[in-house]
Amino acid sequence: MLINDYQIYALKQSAKAIKEGALIPLKTKLSKLSTNEGTHFQIRQLTSLFFSENKVYGPKANPFFPWDRRLEISNINHDHVLILNKYPVQLGHMLLITNNWAPQNGWLSSNDWKALENVDKITSGLWFFNSGPEAGASQPHRHLQLLPRISNSMICPREGYFLSLIKGLGENNYHKDFGFIIKKRSTSSNIPKYRLLYNDYLTLAAGVNLGEPETTKMPLDPYNLLICKKWIVLIKRRNDFYRGFNVNALGYAGYLLATQESDMDWLKDNGPEELLKRLSK
């Protein structure tokens, strides 16, 4: 399928899928919480009945096989397909999944990055990845996620903070802080963008001692990724749950999801940054 902008098609497909009952948007109430770093975290309080899923990891547990064709957007290369998230907080939320089994907690391959780049070159947005249950992943099958954004709009609430960290850094340098590491996206006229992305990924993984595909079968710790056209962030995780908050990669982008079990008083007293530190390694 030839698509000029996956974001536009995703929104059209979302409207159709909602009518058919294939897509179930989560209802939330939005509030904001400012932090010392100058970020206005977005807190979405879940108001609809939350769905429950068993997190069973292994090659037989593949919720995407077969995927619901009513959620399909497009095939990407020969190895991946782009589909809608069945339970989105934001309409147009997409999943890039592998056609064949690949573990979520394994190393991302060059083919994964090639598929991501093929989507990213015609769609603007924030990519994120949760490497396993301790990093907030709800499914064991390989999937990267994309929140589309209009060009030149704010990528995420912590965008200004991330840009301040990479200011003055060269492409080959990175900034390392408690629990995470960030670098500028590498650029070159001679090397394909997906290969540069893959190399950036390996550089960050080595920078926080996750290992490397050639020497370690699996990453040595759970982690999250945040990716946009300017920067890439890797976060090492300790666990995914604290004080009633389940936090995946989006928490580190400035988006938190709260339920009735979430301790909002603790969050207001201690701040989102402290929550993230408690969950990082």
What pTM was estimated for this model as a whole?
0.94
Predicted pLDDT at 258: 96
Predicted pLDDT at 59: 42
Predicted pLDDT at 18: 96
Dmax over CA atoms of the chain, in Å, equals 52
Predicted pLDDT at 140: 93
DSSP string, 128-193: EEE-SGGGT---SB-EEEEEE--TTS---TTHHHHHHHHTT--TT-EEEETTEEEEEPP--SSS-H
Place of tokens 């929104």: 11
Angle between helices 110-120 and 193-207 (to 10 degrees): 120
Predicted pLDDT at 64: 75
Predicted pLDDT at 5: 87
Predicted pLDDT at 20: 96
* CA–CA distance, 120 with 109 (Å, rounded to integer): 17
Cβ burial 42-80 (10 Å sphere, 16+ → b, else e): bbbbbeeeeeeeeeeeeeeebebeebeebbbbbebeebb
Predicted pLDDT at 36: 82
**Domains of the chain, CATH where assigned:** 6-50+63-279 (3.30.428.70)
Q: What percent of the chain is helix, strand and coil (3-state, nearest 5)?
A: 25, 25, 50
Average pLDDT by stretches of 10, the chain with 281 residues:
77 95 94 90 84 46 77 94 94 95 96 97 94 95 95 92 95 93 96 97 97 96 97 98 97 96 96 96 93
Predicted pLDDT at 61: 54
Q: Give Cβ neighbours of residue 260 (< 8 Å, ≥ 6 apart).
A: 46
Predicted pLDDT at 60: 45
Could you tell me the end-to-end alpha-carbon distance of the chain, in angstroms, rounded to an integer?
Answer: 42
